[in-house]
Amino acid sequence: MFAILTALLAATALAFPAEVARGERGHGHGHRPTPTISAGPPPSTFPTSSPGVPYTSTSVWMPPQPTEYPQHYGDFESTPVWIFYPHGAPLYNMCVEAKGCGRGRKGRNGKVVIASCNSSPGQQWAYGIQSGPQIKVAGTDLCLDAGHNPRSGSKLRVERCNGSASQNWYVANTGLWILNDRESDYLCADITGGSRDPGTGLQLYPCAGNNANQQFYPGFCWDHTCIGA
Domain hosting 184: range is: 33-44+53-221
Residue 227, in any domain of the structure: no
> What whole-number distance in Å separates Cα of residue 85 and Cα of residue 66?
21
Q: Does the residue 3 lie in any domain?
A: no
Residue 167 lies in a domain: yes
Confidence label for 77 from pLDDT (cuts 50, 70 and 90)? low
pTM of the model: 0.64
Determine, yes or no, domain membership for 17.
no
With respect to residue 160, please indicate whether it lies within any of the assigned structural domains: yes
Q: Is the pLDDT of residue 142 over 70?
A: yes
- Output 79 or 149, whichever has higher pLDDT: 149
Name the band, by pLDDT with cuts 50, 70 and 90, for residue 209.
Answer: confident
Residue 106 CB partners (closer than 8 Å, separation 6+): none
Average pLDDT value for residue range 177-202: 88
- In whole angstroms, give the CA distance from residue 154 to residue 163: 19
Q: What CATH number is associated with residue 129?
A: 2.80.10.50
Classify residue 25: in a domain, yes or no: no
More reliable by pLDDT, 174 or 150 = 150
Q: Is 68 left (phi over 0), alpha (psi -120 to 50) or beta?
A: beta
Mean pLDDT confidence for 52-67: 36
Q: For all residues of the chain together, what is the average pLDDT?
A: 66
71 part of a folded domain? yes
* 221 — pLDDT class (breaks 50, 70, 90): low
Q: Give the Cα separation of 178 and 209 in Å (integer).
A: 8
CB-CB neighbours of 187 under 10 Å: 25
Domain count, the chain: 1
What is the per-residue pLDDT for 92? 65
Q: Tell me: pLDDT of 123 over 50.
A: yes
Average confidence (pLDDT) over 145-155: 91
Evaluate whether 42 touches 85 at the Cβ level (below 8 Å): yes
Tens of pLDDT, residue by residue over 187-197, are: 999 999 988 89
Let me know if residue 193 belongs to a domain.
yes
Confidence of residue 126 (pLDDT cuts 50, 70, 90): confident
